[in-house]
Structure 1
Amino acid sequence: MRQSGRRVSAWLSGAVGLTLGLSLLAGLPAYAAGGSWVATLPHQSVPASDAPLRDRPLEKSGQIGDGKITRVHWSFAVEGADVPLRAWLCQGSLCVPLPASSGSTTRFQGHSVADELRFRFWYPSTHGATGRVSITRGQVIVDYDA
């Protein structure tokens, strides 16, 4: 009889703990599932010019549903520049200046993950740039909430 009393007591303790744990979890806010998509920028040559060049939209990796951007990460390498290359990442009319060849931003936070992103580069001949620069190893990672 004593054994079965201990088992009942242990079972009740476990059930009370589980009930308490679930009730605490029920009070937490629900978070939407999210994801990321990655785009690779093909190697490209940017000539010295008087105005920024607009690149084609980045191709998303895989099927992307609806969602809101939380953070965007970028990276690229510049070869052959004799003056600094200027770069932006754009979505619609919002163009964010990129202060370095790699980094991340929350400036697109809340924007649709389905809308196009594109790089914009300028190798300013007005600042003494000559010839062309090469952009290599370009990549964008977009984090989003569904």
Structure 2
Amino acid sequence: MKPLRMSNEGPRVRSRLGWLGTVSATVLMGLSQPAVAAGSWVAQVQGVRVTMAEREVRSAPLLAPAAVPGDATLAEVSWRYRLPPGEAVRAWLCQVDACTALSGERGSTRAFSGGRVHDPLHFRFALRPGHKRMVQVQGLQLIAHYR
């Protein structure tokens, strides 16, 4: 058996490695625990009957579930709704007083990026100018991605 060699550097090496290990562990724990976890939620509301070009009709509010962290912010919102074949309406997605025009029956937007996730969203619809026949809009749905 060989005798153990004692080095006078042992405690200093262990001390440096201990400090370095502590710093490394602290940094890694900080990186693995973001302030708010990213996620998404889906909401659906009942359809609406659009009857006028001059007056917008609002959908019921689309709300984030209570399980979504209170300090989360919106990143992107995707929407979808259905119109009868051959029909068209003017459409907007709104949060509080901010609205963005929708390009069609489905799509996504970053217009609400940074907005509070628990501020309700809603759809708004109006007939196109000159259109006189009522249009039933159905399948109102959105997917909100947050961070």
Quote the Cα distance in structure 2 between the aligned partners of 1:48 and 1:117.
22
Deviations 1:40-67 (A, max 9, x none): 1212221133122233312445633311
Give me the CA root mean square deviation.
Answer: 2.5
Segments of 5+ residues of structure 1 without an aligned counterpart are 1-18
Amino acid at match of 1:118: H
Residue equivalent to 2:16: none
Residue equivalent to 1:43: 47
Report % sequence identity.
Answer: 31
Select 2:84's aligned residue among 58, 79, 82: 79
Structure 1 segments of 4+ aligned residues over 3 angstroms from their partners: 25-32, 59-63
Tell me, what secondary structure is at the counterpart of 1:70? strand
Segments of 5+ residues of structure 2 without an aligned counterpart are 1-20
1:98 and 2:106 equivalent?
no
Tell me, what secondary structure is at the counterpart of 1:49? coil
**Which structure carries more strand by proportion?**
1
Select 1:111's aligned residue among 97, 109, 115: 115
How many residues matched? 122
Residue equivalent to 1:13: none
Amino acid at match of 1:56: A
- Change in 2 beyond 3 A, CA 1:113/1:61: same
Question: Which structure has the bigger radius of gyration?
Answer: 2
Q: How does 1:33-72 map to 2 (within 5 A)?
A: 33-61=37-65, 63-66=67-70, 67-72=72-77
